[in-house]
Amino acid sequence: MKTPQSAQNQEEPAEVEPLTPLQLADCKTGFSGGNAGMICAAPSGGHVRIVGDPQHSYCYHVMSRTTGGDFLFGDQEKEAFLKIMWRQARFSGIKILTYCIMDNHFHLLIRVPSREKFNAKFEAYESKGRYEERPSQASEDGEERLLDHLRTLYSKAYVNQLRAELAHMRANGMARYADEQIEKFKARFCNLEIFVKELKARYTRWFNKTKGRSGTLWMGRDKDSRNLLRGTH
């Protein structure tokens, strides 16, 4: 009969090096259990201002300041903001034309493309070198392109869990609910209000985690500046 190894002789798990603040800024949203489709639902509630027309693209100047105007951003904080900003912009379909990150506020000049055009690749299938609309729900290949796009912001485990949940819903007569989850993602694309809200929320989580603080980081929305500069077709 084999004698069990003593606890002292068992190999101890290797220590995991803690992530640096800038490595944390590069982290994607992971799956933490529960329902991925519910976790990643589009923001709801509160006051939402409608800006522009989803059929056209527009340019905006966006400015936001820290609460109290405190000078909180050094070189590392600014670099982390840029990492989070570029990832959020790729996910949202927002084009950053230029930017200026100061010690207590930021300026962004951004272009918000047509949401209809941006979402077309998730609602169509490719045929003879062009995209053609289908009369029913999004095709499987269009949905796969959407799930692949989600990897810009979400971890592989998160997207795989979402894919499994969507398949389970459709296999159990809940196709309509699955389509609603997909639509919630698409509503976040090319949306100025949601882009700014998610950018500031993600940066606040990073800042509070690395500084051991809690609470809001930015002045209220009434202090924000979001000016429409130009509308284009």
Q: Which domains does the chain have, with CATH numbers?
A: 52-114+190-232 (3.30.70.1290), 116-186 (no CATH)
Instruction: Using the predicted structure, report yes or no on whether residue 27 has a pLDDT greater than 90.
Output: no
CA distance 230 to 142: 31
Q: Please tell me the pTM assigned to this model.
A: 0.74
Q: Which residue has the tokens 């997909």?
A: 182
Q: Which residues contact 194 (CB under 8 A, 6 or more apart)?
A: 42, 43, 92, 187, 188
pLDDT in tens, 171-227: 999 999 999 999 999 999 999 999 999 999 999 999 999 999 999 999 986 556 677
Whole-number Å distance between alpha carbons of 218 and 203: 10
Q: Would the pLDDT of 41 be above 50?
A: no
pLDDT at res. 16 = 62
Distances (CA, A) of 203 to 84, 159, 208, 230: 7, 22, 8, 28
